[in-house]
Structure 1
């Protein structure tokens, strides 16, 4: 019997987020494009993070299972035009995905078959149900305010279907869900209550008076505009899956998006008195509530006086800004156009360690962000599917695509929040402490038989993670993978051969107990104390002694992403 100690990605104070899971629910808002009935592409892309993954799609009375995906394989699931949510009120047009192992899901909508100037495109990360909540703040947006802010003119029609924002609320659970929407009408707070049946949805008008959604059970909330007017009589769809309030933050690096000459910030907060500042200067909102940036042509660091959600808005563009406390170690990117880039924000001192798949990025022109430890760069993408990661620090990654002069995109899909020198981790490393004592050689063989290795505590954070997982005060010792060379007497880490690239076996970090290690004649191998009061210090010991082995199974990492088959849901 083993005590299994798992090192896993976890939420930090409820604010770190990864977007993989095994249960999702979403819907496709109506994409009106240029008000013409062009052919539509309505797609969910599902990427498996583990071997032998199967997933099932549920839509109305249709159920389709796609089996046996391998790690990194992406399947496109295509839906008919009728899958869009057209009308206000209740609907059964939600789409659910369940999987046997973790996957990531992204939605893609495109309407238009003419020239590239006659298309409306939008993509959105679909959040797993584990990331959904019961308390949401809704951005106070008005179509006319946006048009006037960016110097446009109102469309020559008044239909609410075409000229207003919508809110889709989806019941994420298999039970009736009581929903409360909160409005501020002429200074008076009013509530409206209704019930959504299992896995169904409702679409509402989202004018500036609606500012909060509360529910008894988890819901997904999607803010959408089917055709947001741009210059030259063009329009583009926008979709934003709103995150629950527990995922808000205070500090943001607002990215500069090339090609965007007009942009504003939209801040949403629980507290009316919350303010946003840049370089200690408070940003002042316009009459529409939008905040002007100090500069339009470079990334900027802003901070709020409380937890907020922050969105970067430009005609036809609606980008959720990643809070600094939600930076991640690895992102998956799925792109659709011929002109595609990643915008990466990384710590200046380690920016050269940003990796695109298995290679460091070498073709990026980095620009330092004033007053911060960060730099930003645009990285051209050549593949439709890729992943960008950093081995030692957290980064932010956005996807930017162009159709003609239209820019669309948003945050990439975070799949791991803890950096690892081995790569883009999809299954965290795992410690196991065997109950039966063995000598050091037997312990090494035992760990190898489990496709693991004796624990190599090469860095302080690995030592701390192991210590955090052992909640014992046993007066006992356990073998680790540290031993002396018979030739040089130098200490080194004994690693099990593996197909996974491993870091150096040299000993750069040490955690010896006082007076340790002893003379070579008194011990060629190393153990650690299992007593928390001894701080899990290391000791040298004779290799023939019997101690419990500490095995470590290295993490599983992404090595490549591939395109799979396309499935049609009718």
Structure 2
């Protein structure tokens, strides 16, 4: 996501490789060595440690014959110490009928948890009494044989995967089936489920909630909104998809492709805000929005190129990475780049708007802002002006009535100019303003209620507060 990002890959006990240097928007593939394949059960140190000097996104991809699985790898600072274990889906030939489940046959083996430890010696309790001790970067596979295993509780952060080595799909074939579980959540959340997920297939929603409560709900067009105090996973043959709760919606996502496969972005957004969705530099081109019954939301499926940045100009949304190989679907929640919507693009570091806490002259306000690592604000374009006015309304408690902005008159030519050297076009002068060169050479903006942020020319030595500003850092825009 940033230029000059150094990435180091370490395969379990081997010396670290690299570092490799990646630039903003660049992707790189790292093939997994065959020695990394896990045995059926037990402990293992076959983990990969990825470190970077800046934020990156990591997606794991497994392709084997007719089976493709993808997973978003969560950074360690987003992992948790407690997880709710989903109910096991009914899969004919794998979990149904129940008396066929056996560790002796791969496709009839029990579902399992893969618990991956981070950098500390850790103790993990699965269910009520199964205690596991893990060394740093060690993992353990735990079979989920009954409903007693409903929680994972660890002393330190872990990652938890839920799934099956080779669950039955169709035409007497089986394939890998895994989902990365989100950390446990006790508040009631909303999960929006597009109907297209169940296209030409029987599907279920697997709910795991506080109090060790689980539910398996048959999915249909009347079940496009689910509320749960926990997590929700969507199941259809060949796919376990962790659903994105409304509190985790983002404003910008990145969606990559897999060679020789169809790749899509599945977008869920409020139906009144569809115009704000962009793919790269452009608004979505001719999207086919489909309403989610019983909600204010709609969804659409968008084909993506080598890399697509899906962002919203004013709101948050959910985006999933989806792919299709033959008739089989695979996918995962797309990585969130930002949760700060901005009309200019995808934000890596949000803008800063600050109202000064001291009243000084215009020249002194320049130094005040510089000392804060900011600039006296220049906002030459009408869209940015409206945006900043909204920000000021959120910040000001009506105690500050006027502020300096980064516009003044040239002493040599008498022309107005912005400090950032942008041309003066959209202006918001008060009636009778600006006056002559003798009436004032620096611009004061009113914050009084009902004055609509009008500008006036004032004596630059007059003490007043100021607006300090720093532009956002954009990943795309």
TM score, norm. by length of structure 2: 0.81
CA distance in 1, matches of 2:445, 2:401: 10
CA drift of 1:478 comes to 5.2
User: Contact 1:444/1:454 (CA < 8 Å) preserved in 2?
Assistant: no
What is residue 246 of structure 1 aligned with on the other side? 185
> Equivalent residues in 2 for 1:95-494 (5 A)?
95-112=48-65, 119-141=66-88, 145-147=90-92, 159=104, 161-163=106-108, 164-172=110-118, 174-182=119-127, 190-209=128-147, 210-246=149-185, 249-257=188-196, 259-271=199-211, 289-295=215-221, 300-304=223-227, 306-336=228-258, 337-381=260-304, 383-431=305-353, 439-440=361-362, 454=377, 456=379, 458-459=386-387, 461-463=390-392, 466=395, 479-481=404-406, 494=418
CA drift of 1:157 comes to 7.6
User: Contact 1:448/1:496 (CA < 8 Å) preserved in 2?
Assistant: no
Deviates more, 1:550-559 or 1:421-430: 550-559
The change in CA–CA distance for 1:155 and 1:362 in structure 2 (over 3 A counts) is: farther
CA drift of 1:553 comes to 2.0
CA drift of 1:139 comes to 0.8
CA drift of 1:260 comes to 3.5
CA distance in 2, matches of 1:483, 1:300: 59
The change in CA–CA distance for 1:153 and 1:178 in structure 2 (over 3 A counts) is: closer
What root-mean-square deviation, in Å, do the aligned CA atoms of Structure 1 and Structure 2 show? 4.0
Deviates more, 1:441-450 or 1:163-172: 441-450
The change in CA–CA distance for 1:311 and 1:94 in structure 2 (over 3 A counts) is: same
Q: Once the two structures are superposed, what CA deviation does each residue of 1:120-159 show, in whole Å capped at 9, x if it has no partner?
A: 11111111111111111011216xx322799999989862
More strand by share: 1
SS in 2 for 1:226: strand
User: Contact 2:408/2:417 (CA < 8 Å) preserved in 1?
Assistant: yes
Tell me, yes or no, if structure 1 residue 496 matches structure 2 residue 442. no
CA distance in 1, matches of 2:419, 2:37: 54
Quick one: higher RCO (CA 8 Å, sep 6+), 1 or 2? 1
Query: How many aligned residue pairs are there?
Result: 450
CA distance in 2, matches of 1:247, 1:418: 25
Q: Once the two structures are superposed, what CA deviation does each residue of 1:42-66 show, in whole Å capped at 9, x if it has no partner?
A: xxxxxxx112111212222330133
Q: Once the two structures are superposed, what CA deviation does each residue of 1:280-307 show, in whole Å capped at 9, x if it has no partner?
A: xxxxxxxxx4212232xxx853242x51
SS in 1 for 2:247: helix
CA distance in 2, matches of 1:149, 1:79: 28
What is residue 46 of structure 1 aligned with on the other side? none
What is residue 84 of structure 1 aligned with on the other side? 37
Q: Once the two structures are superposed, what CA deviation does each residue of 1:527-554 show, in whole Å capped at 9, x if it has no partner?
A: 578xxxxxxx998562512556543221
CA distance in 2, matches of 1:247, 1:110: 35
The change in CA–CA distance for 1:419 and 1:475 in structure 2 (over 3 A counts) is: closer
The change in CA–CA distance for 1:357 and 1:293 in structure 2 (over 3 A counts) is: same
The change in CA–CA distance for 1:273 and 1:170 in structure 2 (over 3 A counts) is: closer
CA distance in 2, matches of 1:72, 1:55: 14
Q: Once the two structures are superposed, what CA deviation does each residue of 1:204-229 show, in whole Å capped at 9, x if it has no partner?
A: 11234311000111111111312121
CA distance in 1, matches of 2:97, 2:326: 20
User: Contact 2:267/2:301 (CA < 8 Å) preserved in 1?
Assistant: yes
User: Contact 1:367/1:376 (CA < 8 Å) preserved in 2?
Assistant: yes
User: Contact 2:268/2:319 (CA < 8 Å) preserved in 1?
Assistant: yes
TM score, norm. by length of structure 1: 0.69
CA distance in 1, matches of 2:394, 2:47: 41
